[in-house]
Amino acid sequence: MPYPRALPIDVTRREQRILEHIVRQPNNPQWLVTRAKIILRAADDQTNSQIASELAITRNTACSWRERWQTSEEQREAVANEMDDDQSLRELLEAIFRDNLRSGAPGKFSAEQVAQIIAIACEAPEANGYPVSHWTPKEMVMEAIKRGVVVSISERQVGRFLKRGGLKTTPDPLLAQHDRKRPGGVQKTGS
């Protein structure tokens, strides 16, 4: 079954110049270069299948970017008419080529819950009744559930929270105290 005819693409000389510059510039991200190439090839009346074959992408990808370009026509015209500089138009073209935000699954844990779990990691396990000198993810899970911070959580997730925050669990206070005289005659007592 043949594919439906691809949407015709219109590219102004100014847009073509900017797109070609994007393609030639060696420090541009690959996603930007590929999308600029899709539009340039579509403007040369190549089919989505031809574009997909040449650029090693799917036909649907070529079709999607062709449609995105078409829907941005009014916006591109407005910026081109209002601004004489190519920088404003280039910024718009790059914005058109960016991926849309995707919803994804909502986070399972709130920022407050994460903060409370990290706060547990900063406490001494012995002070909470655990016969260990250092927190392990297992004890952290048990303590978070016991305190009602979360209903359930995996040991791996606790580890991810601590790793992301750059924290390492320790039974020692964050600021070490020493039993020696400090400069200035101030004595600090240790535990």
Q: What are 50-67's pLDDT values in tens digits?
A: 999 999 999 999 999 999
Query: In sequence order, what are the beta bridge partners of 181?
Result: 187
Residue ranges covered by each domain of the chain: 13-97, 111-164
Give the model's confidence band at 3: pLDDT under 50 very low, under 70 low, under 90 confident, else very high. low
- Tokens representing 142 are 């048990």
Axis crossing angle, helix 30-43 with helix 13-24, rounded to the nearest 10: 140
CA pair distance 49, 81, nearest whole angstrom: 33
Whether the pLDDT of residue 27 is over 90: the answer is yes
Give the model's confidence band at 175: pLDDT under 50 very low, under 70 low, under 90 confident, else very high. very low
